Structure 1
Amino acid sequence: MIQKFRYKFIAMSTTALLVVIMTIVGSICGLTYYHARQEVNNVLTILVDNEGQLPTSGQTKHYPQPQYTREGLQQYRYFSVTFDRADQLTSVEDDHITSIGPQTAKRLAQRAVKRGLKNGQMRYQGVAYAYRIRKQKKATTVVFLDESLLMARTTELMHTGTLLGVIVLLLYALLLTLYSRRAIRPIIQAEHRQKQFITNASHELKTPLTVISANTEMQELLGGENEWTKSTRQQVDRLTKLINNLVSLARMQEQPDITMAPVDISKLATSVSQSFSSVAKSGDKQFVTKIAPNLVVTGDENLLRELFNILLDNANKYCDPQGTIRMTVQPAKHTKNAVITVANTYKEGENEDYHRFFERFYRADESHTKNGKSGFGIGLSMAQYLIKLMKGKISAKYADHSLAFVITLKLSEK
């Protein structure tokens, strides 16, 4: 259990760092890409405003940034094509690019015009070009800008950021793995002290319980059984069962001995229900079962039997006088699961928090005063842990004055 907690701690911490790294790198790359696209659009606007050529003035009128001066624009690779009103080629400006000739420029411009879009992107021989079309009364100008160098900054930054992020993440995970045991050492020590306390306290409590039980038996031999001796024996049995449950739960959490195998849950439920029916009848309660045949799940037979006993014992304990206990084992309607439901009538449970029933020794305040019942103890906590070991699910729900515990286990492949 401690190892699982350690691995979960490492996984959650590494995931948190991964999210932070992805957010930072993604934000930087996104901003860089945005600025690169803005630069492409600004340069295209300048070229289109000047009919596909560099501006003649020392600095552009609408874009006073230093990089958009005439000298600054020399770094960009671009070409432009102009058509007249009859779509006849009138001029090609390709002095600022060497990989594109006049005929190629004409074909690319015609392709861009056919698309019918004022802006767009086009690839030629593996190079990405951004283009913009400006239509006037007498002519149409198509300007192309080689954006590969501009976009290369974003790509390079993305690769560098990803590489550094992976390196940082691996180093962090390595250091966290090396020092995680030291970080959770207080939790390990507290868990060990808790289990040791439960074991020692259990042994210490068994001795006085044995003495109380022996004295009660002697008293009954001498004076006969009465309501006081009967109550004492019931409380001794209850404490003995509670101590055994505490020890069993501590041992299961420390080193669970579980054998996962196909189990005929239908036969097992039938066997347990037959032995329980007499207990229900002795308490003047009705016991109703509905068990579908031949349902096989993957689990541990001993743990499943213990699970049934816990839930049925809990149902019998909290069932209303002359109430009804129901146990159903049915296949799920839409999934390949078996659904086990153990329910009992419990009229006073409408306002209780059913999600807390699996907490150890949980009991609502009303139950202290109204019916004097002993709370939900540790049994449901054990049931939840047993289900978790077998990769199943358990939940509590309340409807129609009945409290039901629903278990879901995956059906075994036949």
Structure 2
Amino acid sequence: MFKELRNKFLILNLVIISVTMIMAFTAIYLMTYNNVNRDINGELRKISEFNRKPMETPKDLPHPPERSISFTINTDNNGNVESFDSIFEIEKDFYEKAKTLALNKNKENGRFKLEDNYWAFMIRPSFYGNKITFLDITSRQGILTNLIYTFLIVALAMLIVIFLISRFFANKSIKPIKEAFERQKQFIADASHELKTPLAVINTNVDVLLGSGEDTIKNQSKWLYYIKSEVERMTNLTKDLLYLTNVDYSEVSLIFSSFNLSEALENVILTMEGVIFESNILLDYHMDSNLIMMGNNEQIRQVIMILLDNALKYTEPKGKVEVVLRRNHNHSLLSIKNSGKGIAEEDINKIFDRFYRIDKSRSRNSGGYGLGLAIARAIVEQHGGSIYAKSVLNESTTFTVELPLIN
């Protein structure tokens, strides 16, 4: 599919460029042709009008100071040669051939080829009959012919170069589309997989309840709690998916106001103190006070919660989590570092992808769907900030959030 799309793009691009080149080259050729034709006609007029008095022999005629090869023939009304004039020695048979070709055109102006040379002529009435002026235009005709060959060579070379360049940029242009399509396919597959598990649990528990029709609800309440738990998980998953979809289509409108980022971080840490204590994890935090930013307080708190919760999940018992918030010029830098196994280099750039989990079994048991970091990145980017991660295997992982401040 993508190969066909690329080929269509290439063909369309080459057709547009070919038509443009044909139009441009045609315009250049027509302008050059008109200029050459105007120059030829002007020179023919000069030669024809140089001597209006009829004369009998060539040696009595004065000669115009022209660089081109030219000659004139005076004929009677029947087309017979009366006299001719040329500064070059030309056989009389040549005059006869030139006169015949000119008169056969039945036009006052025209061109013909005679003995490998191109000639232009102009016929004017004279006292005895007609005065025909001839001008050698072989060099001018050569210019026009060479111009056509040059255009063809240049056009062919340009099409080859443009084809290669277009193919390169077509591949680059289609690459993000292909990646987006693959991500969408993976997204649908992952979402279907995540929904399949709770649905299977719900279906199993419903079957158990149906098989215990004579028992009381109180005795079978644990199955109902299992169903309720899975429904809640599905609700949260659906809500997260809807949020990410709206972010993709820029349909999430946040209400921004100024708030104290330092206080927001402190409040999140206080709400999670109990979880940290029960997990037997040491928390160490340092923060600059009164860092004011413009944004959505709840959304930023959600980012902090996601990162802190992620750090706690992947910190071994008796491990350590460090939280640092400091000012860096007109930005704030929030870093959350946890000790633990770390993240491999090949995974570090994928952890913000939707449904991506390094340890799938552990994430499922923890209740996660692999959407937390994707949501965090979406929120941070909506606030004009950036988020990235660094890790050292078997030592630590650090997530850093950079957000703009207003003071």
Q: TM-score scaled to structure 2, two decimals? A: 0.44
Q: Higher Cα Rg: structure 1 or 2?
A: 2
TM-score by length of 1: 0.43
